[in-house]
Amino acid sequence: MIPSQSRCMANFHLSATFLVALFLLTCEIGCCGKEVWNTSVSPDGKWAAVTIVRDCGATTREGMAILLRKSDEKSLRDKDMIFGINRQERIEVSWRSNNALLIDCRGCKEDQITRRLPKRGSIEIIYSNE
């Protein structure tokens, strides 16, 4: 092989390795499948609590999350997650008022909950598992 071809191949392999690593890193962050199960809109219509099921493939069990976002927003962003659990459970979400959201997760176990925010902006988040 001509030296310039060797350098070219080495650069190609290095670039390909970098691109694969970058893809795997970004997929670890946001490539999980997300299926919307339910959406509950606040009484004033400004906010939406979206219940989703996350499926990250064969090596990870399914989990559930509740995202709180402006009602006119359509994207499912991880930064909007207010509640997360590492399994599927029956979760009921309801609004008590324009600024109070109730999340009822009767089968949830503390060691499986990955996120539980008490408040997001002006929205108070109330949890019940009884």
Residue 8: per-residue pLDDT: 61
* pLDDT tens per residue, range 80-94: 999 999 887 889 999
What residues does each domain of the chain span? 1-31, 32-128
Q: What is the mean pLDDT of residues 98-120?
A: 93
Residue 40 scores a pLDDT above 50: yes
Residue 26: per-residue pLDDT: 40
Task: Flag whether the pTM goes above 0.75.
Answer: no
Distance CA 50, CA 89 (A): 15
Q: Which residue has the higher pLDDT, 42 or 1?
A: 42
* pLDDT tens per residue, range 64-76: 999 999 999 988 8
Residue 123: per-residue pLDDT: 97
Q: What is the mean pLDDT of residues 21-46?
A: 70
Residue 32 scores a pLDDT above 90: no
Residue 7 scores a pLDDT above 60: yes
